[in-house]
Amino acid sequence: MRVALMVTCVNDAMFPGTGAAVVRLLRRLGVEVDFPEAQTCCGQPMVNTGYLDEAVPAVRTYVDAFAGYDAIVTPSGSCAGSARHQHGLVARRAGENGSDPGLAEAVAAAPPTYELTEFLVDVLGVTDVGAYFPHAVTYHPTCHSLRMLGVGDRPRRLLEAVRGLRLVELPNADQCCGFGGTFALKNSDTSVAMGSDKVRHVRGTGAEVLVAGDNSCLMHIGGMLTRQRSGVRVMHLAEILAATEDEPAAPAPGAAR
């Protein structure tokens, strides 16, 4: 199986350790994964803001960069959701207005895009990935992974199989953290209020680490945790799953400590 990593813009720019963790994890599980250097943005920021025409070049670059692979894996429910649900919308519009008549066919022929936990559980058929992380952890299910992709309990099953990890229940876990991409910029007061509620619940668990499958949400929540000097650090799920006794996980740059 030829597998490609779609690292995402946020991870490439701010959290490169997450992409590296995905590669270490998959290679440990016997999967050879490539990193196509032609990849750029999946186009989600433009689509979410209503600029479908402006998203056409990003979607075209996506399908061209990952052509020929059997699967695309990304450590982001948000970007996986964009590829699976938004690229078709952009492609149909591009066909209707003539900006890229062949895009719909290219999108239809593109390899499937999987969020990391979907790939591990559904494609590889594993929940115990050989990880070791001796800390109390609470899990935040991000909106796109929960609602758009329906990842369900896959992340929890993976975390429960990590040796040494104690998984603590997060109250009101299914409530949005308030980031929402451009929503946080357009509606900052509401975003901060939602984030404050999430942080209060996180701190109430007594967990040492907050984990999620999207660094964008962790960036939002982690910033508040840091400003409150909570002592709770945030980590992407991939970094915990990649951790072993020989290669312990380290907090991402800018994570709450």
How confident is the model at residue 250, as a pLDDT? 65
Integer Cα distance of 233 and 254 in angstroms? 9
- Dump pLDDT digits (tens) for 102-117: 999 999 999 999 999 9
Residue at token pair 């599980």: 29
- Dump pLDDT digits (tens) for 22-61: 999 999 999 999 999 999 999 999 999 899 999 999 999 9
The dihedral sign for the CA sequence 78, 57, 84, 20: negative
| Boundaries of every domain in the chain | 3-123, 136-241
43 alpha-carbon distance from chain centroid: 15
**Is 90 exceeded by the pLDDT of residue 120?**
yes
> What's the CATH architecture for 136-241?
3-Layer(aba) Sandwich (3.40)
